[in-house]
Structure 1
Amino acid sequence: MLTAYASRPWLLTPDERRVPLRPRTRRTGPQAVLFDRDGTLIQDLPHDSDPDRVRLMPHAKAAVGELRARGIPVGVVTNQPGLARGVLTRGTVEDVRRRVEELLGPFDVWAVCPHEPEDGCGCRKPAPGLVHAACALLGADPRATVVLGDIGADIQAARSAGGTGVLIPTPVTRPEETAAADRTAPDLLTAVRGLLNLPGGTT
């Protein structure tokens, strides 16, 4: 039951905006790119509440920088069931967010699902709620948005929202998830260069 948290996700932005951003002028590429957090942008440490333990995944800084250089909005979509379980607090999630942004710069939106799987919310990946919520704030069409993630739930969330998912496998990615993905890449930078039709990308 959704008792501790409302059924909708948290939307966090650098200045806590609650209104859509104006679309930016882009030379090429998708309208927005949304990153999974754990295992995609940063190393996956279950229920991580310590910003001092945050470590970037390979090429994360370069990948995000390529998108920003082309005016493409970037966001994070992350399931954090530790909030519902009492392992995390909003403050600890914010502390980790601030550390990630110290390392990578500010993201245009963070969409956070604070629910457990059994809560039956519409935002927890593989449901599309986080993608829809982030796109609504960014003023982006979900069908022209890409989600980058390391597990099948990330890719299914993109598909359910009508968008595109790119899987970046890690040791925790199951073989069947890789086999089911329409697009894969060995790392974030290769994935982003593929989206932008740059040399060294995977399409």
Structure 2
Amino acid sequence: MKIVILDRDGVINEDSPDYIKSLAEWRPVPGSLEAIARLCQSGFRVFVATNQSGLGQGLFDYDAFSSIHDRLQQQLAELGGRIDGIAFAPDHPDAPTAMRKPAPGMLLDLARRLNVSADLIPFVGDSWRDIEAARAARAQPILVRTGNGRRTETRHQAELRGVAVYDDLAAYAGALIAAQQALPQIS
């Protein structure tokens, strides 16, 4: 099974220091939805693992959160793609659980549910906590420069040794699909 897990804010959609609180504030990163559709069309199952502390802080409600994901799925369907599942941590930052990144809980839970080893799963993020969560889960950390990615790359340059870095999700998807196509086909 070919699986990719993505962070949401900063990878799929534009991020904001004030949180993405409503459908009106949600805007896809250019090329991200097409990248997800290409992954799906190449046989990958795509999942999301996202911290959503705005829920725990009361900045937005579950209806607003769901409407954003409904729009995401609708736009992906129009492109021939989809998100197979969304894991989220609504924890307030002052009271984090094992699910809130940088803890590996969401990634480990997805791997368990999918009955795969986490070390076979790439996790694409834009922040240092995404890299930490991937490493803690023994998943494959991937950094994109969208969202907080450029700042993360600058601030954690030494710690990012061994982490693949791409300009955006589209660049990563293209590289991943090309690598899969280069593998010998077993008949």
Task: Provide the TM-score with structure 1 as the length reference.
Answer: 0.76
Aligned pair partner of 1:180 in 133, 136, 159 = 159
Secondary structure of 1:57's partner?
A: coil
Aligned pair partner of 1:156 in 132, 141, 146 = 132
**For structure 1, which runs of at least 5 residues remain unmatched after alignment?**
1-22, 24-30
Aligned pair partner of 2:5 in 30, 34, 37 = 34
Letter in 1 for 2:31: H
2-structure distance, mates of 1:57, 1:170: 8
1-structure distance, mates of 2:174, 2:141: 14
Aligned pair partner of 2:31 in 59, 66, 70 = 59
Q: Is the 8 A contact 1:36 1:149 kept in 2?
A: yes
Q: Is the 8 A contact 1:76 1:107 kept in 2?
A: yes
Q: Is the 8 A contact 1:147 1:158 kept in 2?
A: yes
Deviation of the 1:77 alpha carbon: 0.7
Identity %: 27
Deviation of the 1:163 alpha carbon: 0.9
Secondary structure of 2:44's partner?
A: coil
1-structure distance, mates of 2:37, 2:114: 18
Secondary structure of 1:88's partner?
A: coil
More helix by share: 2
1-structure distance, mates of 2:156, 2:167: 14
Question: Given the alignment of the two structures, is residue 141 of structure 1 paired with residue 107 of structure 2, yes or no?
Answer: no
2-structure distance, mates of 1:41, 1:95: 15
Letter in 1 for 2:6: F
Secondary structure of 2:135's partner?
A: helix
Question: Given the alignment of the two structures, is residue 102 of structure 1 paired with residue 78 of structure 2, yes or no?
Answer: no
Letter in 2 for 1:116: H
**For structure 2, which runs of at least 5 residues remain unmatched after alignment?**
181-187
Deviation of the 1:169 alpha carbon: 1.6
* Cα root mean square deviation, aligned: 1.9
Secondary structure of 2:124's partner?
A: strand
Deviation of the 1:159 alpha carbon: 1.0
Q: Is the 8 A contact 1:142 1:161 kept in 2?
A: yes
Q: Is the 8 A contact 2:10 2:147 kept in 1?
A: no
Q: Structure 1 residues 118 and 94 mapped into 2: Cα distance closer, same or farther (>3 Å)?
A: same
Secondary structure of 1:119's partner?
A: coil
Deviation of the 1:137 alpha carbon: 2.7
Task: Provide the TM-score with structure 2 as the length reference.
Answer: 0.82
> 1:75 is matched with which residue?
47
Deviation of the 1:179 alpha carbon: 4.4
Deviation of the 1:81 alpha carbon: 0.7
Q: How many residues in Structure 1 have an aligned counterpart in Structure 2?
A: 170
1-structure distance, mates of 2:145, 2:45: 23
Output aligned runs, 1:12-27, within 5 Å: 23=1
How far does the alpha carbon of each residue in 1:106-155 deviate from its partner, in whole angstroms, 9 at most, with x for none? 31110000102221310111111111122223333211001111111111
Aligned pair partner of 2:96 in 97, 101, 120 = 120
